[in-house]
Structure formats: C-alpha cells, structure tokens
Amino acid sequence: MTKSKNLVRLPLAAALAVALTCLFLPLAAHAQNISQTAKAGKYSITLKVLPAESFMGTDAAMAYDGGAEPEAVDGPMQPNHHMVAFISRDGHPVERANVKIRYRLVSNGGWKNLPVARMHVKGKGADTTHFGNNVKLMPGQYQVQVTVNHKRAKFHFTLQ
C-alpha cells in the first residue's frame, strides 16, 4: 500500500514543480543577464547585459575610470540595463583600449552608439576593468558590435 501511494505522489510532485517553475519564469526573465564571448582579432570580448549599476555614492557598484560620462541610474534616461564589454588578450584583462560599442534593436532598424565609459568593479581592482554604460533597452532582439582598437566582434541576443 505504502509503495503504491508513493508512486502516485511522485508524478504529482513533478507536476507541481513544473507548475511552480512556470509561475516563476516571468520573474526570472526580469532578472535576465546576458553574457556572450566573441573574438575580435587577438582580443577576447565578453559582452554582458546586466541590471543598471550605480556609479554614485557609497553604495556604488562601479568605479568610474574615464571615457564617456556614466548614465546615472536615477537620471532622465531611466536606464534599466548595464551593457558592458570585458576585454582580454592572451588571458590578461585589457585595461586601456579604444572601445566603441553600438547596438541595434533588430525590429527598429537604426544603430545607436553607446557612450563608452571605462570602469572597474568598486573595490575589486583594475583586473575587473570593463567598458560600457547604463542604457535603457526595450525587450526584443538585439545586435551589438564591439570594436576594440579597430577589431570588431558581433553579438546577437534577445532581451525579455
């Protein structure tokens, strides 16, 4: 008797797990992080699209090192993402380079330039140097091109 009860319970538990997963998927999609790596000449470029990060105040996650002005999290643009490129060469992080980032919402046609700031993760040192900015991105399919010292890498992802 006990055995047959267990046999019934297992599929129920599995069904419940699936139902719960479906319920929580929309929440997970909001916290979606993109991370893709591609080659550009001798550079290895990891493009990350994360939630918008703070550059200001004691709680800042980012330490600004130069380049374009950082887009404030609570600024007029109301950025919802942090689109950045981590660059390495021969396994070593690249701290200085001429970096250009442009992006395009595929359904919308036009390319936009991301004002590229140089930063590192606050308190983690220059090894965490990366390039990019906070930006407002609608859901959709994106193409991104990252150019490092005239070598270009291409990325393609879908934001939910």
Q: Residues for the chain: how many in total?
A: 160
Which amino acid is it at 87? I
Q: Are 130 and 85 in contact (CB under 8 A)?
A: yes
**Beta carbons of 141 and 106 less than 8 angstroms apart:** yes
- Cβ proximity to Cu ion: between 47 and 119 the closer is 119
Least distance (Å) between residue 51 CB and Cu ion = 11
Are 39 and 75 in contact, with CB atoms under 8 Å apart? no
Distances (CA, A) of 9 to 18, 21, 132: 14, 18, 51
* Phi and psi torsions of 148, nearest 5°: -120, 115
Q: Which residue is nearest to Cu ion (CB)?
A: 62
Least distance to Cu ion from the beta carbon of 84, Å?
5
Residue with Cβ nearer Cu ion (82 or 142): 82
Calpha distance 104→29 (Å, rounded): 21
Q: Which is nearer to Cu ion, 83 or 153 (CB)?
A: 83
Smallest gap from Cβ 124 to Cu ion, in A, equals 11
User: What does the binding site for Cu ion look like in residue numbers (CB under 5 A)?
Assistant: 62, 84, 119
Q: Rounded to a whole number, what is the distance in angstroms from the first to the last CA of the chain? A: 47
Residue 96 C-beta: closest distance to Cu ion, Å: 16
Question: Least distance from C-beta 8 to Cu ion, angstroms?
Answer: 51
Name the residue nearer to Cu ion (CB basis): 62 or 148.
Answer: 62
If the CB atoms of residues 73 and 84 are measured against Cu ion, the closer one turns out to be: 84
Longest alpha-carbon distance in the chain: 72
